[in-house]
């Protein structure tokens, strides 16, 4: 990028956590358009050795919990954002329109998920059952994948 880095930083506050009654449950949307490469949000939270439901892994043995937004990001197998766990930044990978749902690939940061789950993200390369990057599908996941011919 030729632009000075500061110019890519946008308003941290122009994000909104969707409530759990929304169609896809919790999620985070951006209230303003985001450009590919932009830093969407600088996050903070509590660093803990404990894997929790809404925690995210920052290093081999540490997780960040009690975050304002990033713990509520939806998974996609073809996400429009990524987390930089060195800079503690949420970065846009593609342009995202205002009101767009922000997504990350959970397996990009997590060795092990708090809970594995079926994925219906619709990406051509959807993995259909989401695990951490260092774990295999559990019994439920193996049964689900077998049932859909995977
Ligand atoms: Zn998927």
Check whether 8 has a pLDDT greater than 90. no
95: CA distance to ligand 1 center in Å? Answer: 19
Give the chain's domain count. 1
What is the residue range of 94's domain? 5-106
77: CA distance to ligand 1 center in Å? Answer: 4
11: CA distance to ligand 1 center in Å? Answer: 29
76: CA distance to ligand 1 center in Å? Answer: 5
Per-residue pLDDT tens over the stretch 46-60: 999 999 999 999 999
101: CA distance to ligand 1 center in Å? Answer: 15
Check whether 93 has a pLDDT greater than 70. yes
Q: Using an 8 Å Cβ cutoff, are 73 and 104 in contact?
A: yes
What pairing do the DSSP bridges indicate for beta strands 27-30 and 101-104? Answer: antiparallel
80: CA distance to ligand 1 center in Å? Answer: 13
Tell me if 142 is assigned to some domain. Answer: no
Per-residue pLDDT tens over the stretch 9-46: 444 579 999 876 666 668 999 999 999 999 999 999 99
Tell me if 43 is assigned to some domain. Answer: yes
74: CA distance to ligand 1 center in Å? Answer: 10
57: CA distance to ligand 1 center in Å? Answer: 20
Q: Using an 8 Å Cβ cutoff, are 40 and 31 in contact?
A: no
pTM above 0.75, yes or no: yes
CA 41 to chain centre: 13
129: CA distance to ligand 1 center in Å? Answer: 7
Residue 28 to residue 12: CA distance in whole angstroms: 13
125: CA distance to ligand 1 center in Å? Answer: 7
103: CA distance to ligand 1 center in Å? Answer: 11
Tell me if 135 is assigned to some domain. Answer: no
Tell me if 143 is assigned to some domain. Answer: no
The enclosing domain of 21 has a CATH number of: 2.170.270.10
Residue with token string 């397996």: 107
141: CA distance to ligand 1 center in Å? Answer: 13
Tell me if 58 is assigned to some domain. Answer: yes
């Amino acid at each position: 990028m030729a632009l000075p880095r500061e110019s890519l930083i946008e308003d941290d506050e122009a994000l909104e956590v969707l409530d759990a009654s929304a169609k896809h449950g919790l999620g985070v949307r951006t209230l303003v358009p985001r450009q590919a490469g932009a830093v969407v949000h600088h996050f903070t939270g509590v660093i803990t050795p404990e894997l929790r439901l809404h925690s995210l892994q920052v290093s081999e043995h540490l997780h960040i919990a009690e975050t304002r937004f990033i713990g509520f990001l939806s998974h996609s197998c073809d996400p429009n954002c990524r987390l930089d766990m060195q800079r503690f930044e949420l970065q846009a990978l593609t342009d995202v329109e205002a009101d767009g749902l922000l997504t990350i690939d959970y397996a990009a940061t997590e060795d092990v998920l708090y809970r594995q789950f079926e994925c219906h993200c619709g990406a051509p390369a959807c993995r259909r059952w989401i695990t951490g990057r260092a774990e295999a599908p559990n019994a439920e996941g193996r049964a689900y994948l077998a049932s859909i011919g995977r």
